[in-house]
Structure 1
Amino acid sequence: MAGPVEQGLNVALALGQPLLLTGEPGTGKTQLAASLAYELNLPPPLVFNVKTTSGARDLFYRYDALGHFHDAQP
């Protein structure tokens, strides 16, 4: 019988939906995603490293106005 991670992967693949992997650092989340993408001939996964200051909106967009201003300087 498949474990919960394998079941989640199978459901996400069957539905064509993304799967959010969570867990402690060093447990293999990024490696699992990279290996699965490789096996399915897909592009590398998107990786978002969460911090205590991270919010849901950070998953979509973060604009660094000061960095943008600095980059625009001659």
Structure 2
Amino acid sequence: MDLEVFRLLDLPAEVIDDTLGHVPLHRDLLNFALASRFCSSLAIPQHTEYRVVHFKNGDTDSTWIHLAQRID
């Protein structure tokens, strides 16, 4: 029986992108991005920015306005 080697990077970019959306740790995303230029193009900045947003109480309006203006 022939067994093909499963390679993550053989998947369509949309599938990889969706998978990266489920990676909880920022450092894991950065490690993935460091694997190759292709991996980097999938992870940075789409999955490495704005994973966790910190803001002071009462400053939520300007934060949401900023995020709404960033379509990425």
- Structure 2-normalised TM-score? 0.33
Scaled by the length of structure 1, the TM-score of the pair is: 0.33
Report 1 or 2 for greater relative contact order, CA contacts < 8 Å, sequence distance ≥ 6: 2
